[in-house]
Structure formats: structure tokens, C-alpha cells
Structure 1
Amino acid sequence: MRGDIDRRTLLDTAAAAAVGAAVVTAACLASSPDALDVLLLVAGSMALSAHRRSPLAVLVVTTLCMSGYAVHAHPGSWVALPVVVAVHAAARNGYRAQAVGAGAAFLVGYSVVLLVSVPGVQDTVERMLLLLGWFLCAGVTGLIDKNWQAYLRQTERRALDAERTREETALRRAGEERLRIARELHDSLTHSISIVKLQAGVAVHLARKRGTEVEPALLAIQEASGEAMRELRSTLEVLRTDVVDPRTGLDRMDELAGRARAAGVELAVEVEGDVRALPADVDGAAYRIVQEALTNVARHADRAGTSVRLTYADTALVVAVDDDGPCLPGDRVTPGTGLTGMRERVTALGGTLETAPRARGGFSVRAELPLVPRQVTG
């Protein structure tokens, strides 16, 4: 943007210098201008370099300078060139009445000069008609340029609106697709897994009732179907939550902790530091990290005792989730979809994530999400 402004200023100055050189050359060819004449010509022409910033001031300065030169030196019609350019600039910037007034004032003054200095009314009328045509063309082209610039701005705005609409439509369609997938999974897959789980449970119950040994494969089916149901419900919850409430944040921490406790997790939540409003992306990422960590505790840590600690520092939000599960130091943990998604969220915000077994057993998740430092007011 700064480069565009400098380039425009340079071009405007060069154009004004070209106009000034043209009128000074014409004055030198017509007569021998004195210092005052040269000063008026240069001032009236170089003022055109500021026509973008101050079109009205340029119109006034140029009209006065060229009118003064016309009264003093009685030049030809070329003296109107800087005024014509100033009228065009004023009309292009929306000052139509001022442009008409300045053009009319210059024409009246110059016509008086011609009547005094040039013999013959016909020559004066011809010159005035020629200048009138110049000024009309300047005003019309200025209005055309103004309308063209407005059209370009409107076209650009429409393009931006269309792009924004396409993005919103894409997000809406993605949300609708997630809801459709959630409904399909719930209506078909959930039913089938429930039947498998129910049948396996009935078979195990009958075997034990008869006093016969339960087949290990049957127990594996019962356990696997239960695990599949839990994972499927968690997936459906994520699909529906992302659609229904995209503004999920730490304000729903109590609700999340309640669900974890209802699932059998012994959970303790601690908050340290000065609690304050967080950016939406950081707030949502922190909630998802805690949610995924608690989900992993319920799935893989046998609902072991867990602590969640949120630390509000000056430049970061630290989220730590530690459990007392069966994971031992040195155990190799293969990152699944949950841990991978967690790391992607943290990396996208420029933070750091540490996931590893604890020294005294269990598993630890620690995420540091950067924040803008607070300003201290006196």
C-alpha cells in the first residue's frame, strides 16, 4: 500500500511538471515572460501534483494563478490547460459545482482579457467556444472517471461478498454433512452394535446360569462391542458438538467435568492464576484438549483418578491433565486420532504439547497455548 501511494505521488508530480513545462514553453515562444509570469505559471501547474489529496485547493490555486497570468500577459488559449486539468480532478472527486464555478470564472475573466487585447469579436467568440468545449470535456471525463472508480469498488466489494458467501456456504454444507453422517451412524451402526452387545451379554448370562465355562471368544465379543459403543458415542458427540456449538470453551468446564465423573472418573479440577477472557481459538482448543484427555482416561486408563490444572499465566495458558492409570514409565504410547488432533490444534496456535507416561505411573498431557501479554495500566 505504501508503495502504491509513493508511486502515485511520483506520477502526479511528473504529470504536473509536464504541464508546467508545456505552458512555460508556450509562454516563452509567445513572448518573453518576466519572473512574475514564470512564478504564476509554475505555481499554477505544480499545484496539480496534489490533485488527489486536495482537489478543491488545487482548483482554487490553479484558477487564480492562471487567471492572474492571463490578466498580466494576455496569452493564448493554452493558458487554460492547467485549469482544465484542475476542473477534471475536481469533477472526478465529486466537486461538480465547484468545478463548474471555477471554469465559468476563468472563462469570464479570460473573455474580458480577450475583448481588451484582441481586436475582433469573432476571434474572441471562437476562442471562448473552444475553451468552453475543453472545460465541458474535462467535466464530463471527470464524472465518467468518478463513476468508473465507483463501479470498480462496487465490483471488488461484490467479489469479496461472494467469496465470503461461498465460505459460509461451504461451512454450512460441511456442518450439514456432519449431521447427516451422525444420523446415519446412529440409525444403522449403533443399532447393529447394540444387538451384538446384547446377544453377547445374553449368551454369557445363560452360560453362567447353566454353570458352564464361558468361551473366551464370547467374552472378547462382549468387551469389544462395549468398547465400540463407547467410541461410537464419543464420535457422534464430536460430530454433533462441532455443528451445534462451535463456540465451546472453558466456560463449559463444569459440564465436562460432570460428564467425566458420571462416567466413573475420579476427577479434580484446579485453576491457578488470574482467570480472564481468552481468544476464541485458544478457549476452544483448551476445552478440546481437556475433553480428549478425559476421553482417553475413560477408554485406556480404566477411569483412574485424574487431575486437570488450568494455569493462567501472563503470556500463556497451561493445560495439564494427569491420570493415575496403568501406564508405566518407559511404556511406548502410539498416538491415535485423539492425540494427533490434539497436537494439530496446539501447533496451529503456535503452542507446545507434551504427552508421555509419568515417572510414578500414569499418563500426563501438558499443553501451553500462547496468549497476548496483558497491558498494565497506571
Structure 2
Amino acid sequence: MRRDLPYALSGLVLGGFLLGNAALAPDAAPVRAIDVALVLVMAAALAACRRHPVVALIAVTAAMLALHVRVHPGASAGFPVLGAVYVAAWRGHRSAAALASLVFLGGFLARDIAVAPAGRPGQLIVERTALLLGWFVAANVAGLVARQRRAYLEQVEQRAIEAERTREEMALRRAGEERLRIARDLHDSLTHSISVIKVQAGIAVHLARKRGEEPSAALLAIQEASSAAMRELRATLDVLRAPSAVDRVGLGRVGELAER
């Protein structure tokens, strides 16, 4: 609703300007209640121009042509139509904007020719029509330029978002590759070393018991620690190979590790 407020205010300002110009113009007809109603229709249509550009363009063009035929306020009757044409072209309705421009210019010129005194040179009519033609061409071109600029900015923003997403995907891929490399290194070196320690400690315990001796506490601790290290290392390798899994079991065993 707030976005429509500038359009509504513009319609009210233009309506007041039209009524004032019609009251002060020497060749304008008296303003009546139906003319005020036409101005209000124009203002209401401009208020809805952002959401419904084509409907608003039709309503504004018809109201201003009717006002021009009845009151003849001069070139100021084309100002609301110019605004509606610009918005329609900006929103992508180029054909509707061009057609409304031609209809209004044709109706404006036809009314001026119809009420022109006999034998009066049409220089004023030609100049006024040429002025309006230039304004309408400028409004159509400005709307197209504004639309192209908006499309360009959206494209640049989309490219920036795509580039950011690509950088994030690349960072995640590199992190995954690094985890796999670490997992391979641990598996190739550390796992082998711990396996050797575990096997040697197990053999030493077995030989001691075979001789009828009780294995030393240090040897049993080495055997137990090597077995626990193998379990922890396997769990760590699983986490590195599957980064989506989160292993927090080790945090709860800090006390046990410190006791060892």
C-alpha cells in the first residue's frame, strides 16, 4: 500500500493542476461536476497504476480524452497520460503504451481541428501536437530504458548470488577433499602403527600367560590403550569420510583419557 502512495499523490496533484488550469485558461469551457468526476477517475487510476498498469492506462487515457473534449484544458490533459504511459512501458507493456499514446494524440488533434475557427491557420495546433508527440515518445523511451536498467540490475544481482553460491560450493568441496586426504593419511600411517602396537602387546601378554607369569600392569595398559585408540581412530575416520555426521562421544570421555 505504501508503494501506491506516490502514485495516488501524483494523481491528486495532477488533478488539482488540471482543474486550476481549466479554470484559468481563456479558451476553456466551464468546469462542471462530471469534469471533476473525470479527474477523480484519473487520480484513482493512477493510484492503481503500479499494480494494474494496463487497466490504469486505459482509464486515464479515456478520462483525459473526455476531459479534453468537454473542457479543453490544453496540453496539460496529456500529463496524467504521460505518467501512465511511462509506467506501462516500464512494466513491460510496450504495445499498450504505444497504442494509448497514439489514441490520445489522435483524439487530441481531432478535437483541436474540430473546434478551430474557419480560416484560422493551424500553426498553433501543429505546434501543440508536435510538442505532445515529443513528450509521448520520450515517455515511451524512458519507460523502456528504465525497464532495461532494472533487468540489468536484477541480472547483475543474480550473477553475484550465483558467484557466491559457487564459491561456497567450491569451499565445501575443498574441505571434503581435505577431510578425505587426512582420512587416507591416518589410515595409511597411524592406523598401521597402532595396529602393530596392539598386536605386539597382545603377543607379549599371551606369551607371559603361556609361561605362567602374570603380565605387568604397564603391558596390560598398553594393550587396552591400543585397542581403545583403534576404536577412536576408526570413529574419527568415519566422521572424516562422512562430514555430515557429528561425533561428540569423545568429549564425554575426557576424564577417562586423563585418568589413563
TM-score norm. by structure 2 comes to 0.86
Matching residue's letter, 1:91: A
Hey, what does 2:236 align to over in structure 1?
A: 235
Query: Shift in Å at residue 151 of structure 1?
Result: 2.0
Task: Work out whether 1:7 is the aligned partner of 2:8.
Answer: no
Determine helix, strand or coil for the equivalent of 2:252.
coil
Hey, what does 2:58 align to over in structure 1?
A: 60
Matching residue's letter, 1:185: L
Q: Is the 8 A contact 2:21 2:73 kept in 1?
A: no
Q: Is the 8 A contact 1:12 1:48 kept in 2?
A: yes
Task: Work out whether 1:90 is the aligned partner of 2:7.
Answer: no
Hey, what does 2:17 align to over in structure 1?
A: 22
> More strand by proportion, 1 or 2?
1
Mapping for residues 28-43 of structure 1, pairs under 5 Å: 28-30=23-25, 31=28, 32-43=30-41
Determine helix, strand or coil for the equivalent of 2:3.
helix
Query: Shift in Å at residue 49 of structure 1?
Result: 0.9
> More helix by proportion, 1 or 2?
2
Mapping for residues 1-378 of structure 1, pairs under 5 Å: 6-30=1-25, 31=28, 32-118=30-116, 119-240=120-241, 242-243=242-243, 246=244, 335-336=252-253
Of all paired residues, the percent bearing the same amino acid is 50
- Matches of 1:148 and 1:19, distance apart in 2: 27
Query: Shift in Å at residue 336 of structure 1?
Result: 3.9
Query: Shift in Å at residue 172 of structure 1?
Result: 2.1
Q: Is the 8 A contact 2:191 2:233 kept in 1?
A: yes
| Greater radius of gyration (CA) | 2
Determine helix, strand or coil for the equivalent of 1:335.
helix
- Matches of 1:191 and 1:335, distance apart in 2: 26
Matching residue's letter, 2:215: V
- Across the aligned residues of Structure 1 and Structure 2, the Cα RMSD in angstroms comes to 2.4
- Matches of 2:174 and 2:16, distance apart in 1: 63
- Matches of 1:336 and 1:219, distance apart in 2: 20
Query: Shift in Å at residue 212 of structure 1?
Result: 4.2
- Matches of 1:214 and 1:56, distance apart in 2: 95
Query: Shift in Å at residue 213 of structure 1?
Result: 4.2
Aligned residues: 248
- Matches of 2:121 and 2:79, distance apart in 1: 24
Q: Is the 8 A contact 1:24 1:42 kept in 2?
A: no
Query: Shift in Å at residue 21 of structure 1?
Result: 1.9
- Matches of 1:213 and 1:64, distance apart in 2: 109
Determine helix, strand or coil for the equivalent of 2:51.
coil
Matching residue's letter, 1:233: R
Q: Is the 8 A contact 1:20 1:46 kept in 2?
A: no
Q: Is the 8 A contact 2:208 2:214 kept in 1?
A: yes
Unaligned segments of structure 2, at least 5 residues: 255-260
Query: Shift in Å at residue 211 of structure 1?
Result: 4.1
- Matches of 1:185 and 1:17, distance apart in 2: 77
Matching residue's letter, 1:157: Q
Query: Shift in Å at residue 224 of structure 1?
Result: 1.0
- Offset from partner CA, 1:87-117 (integer Å, 9 cap, x none): 1111111111111111111111111222233
Q: Is the 8 A contact 1:90 1:142 kept in 2?
A: yes
Query: Shift in Å at residue 194 of structure 1?
Result: 1.3
Unaligned segments of structure 1, at least 5 residues: 1-5, 247-283, 297-333, 338-378
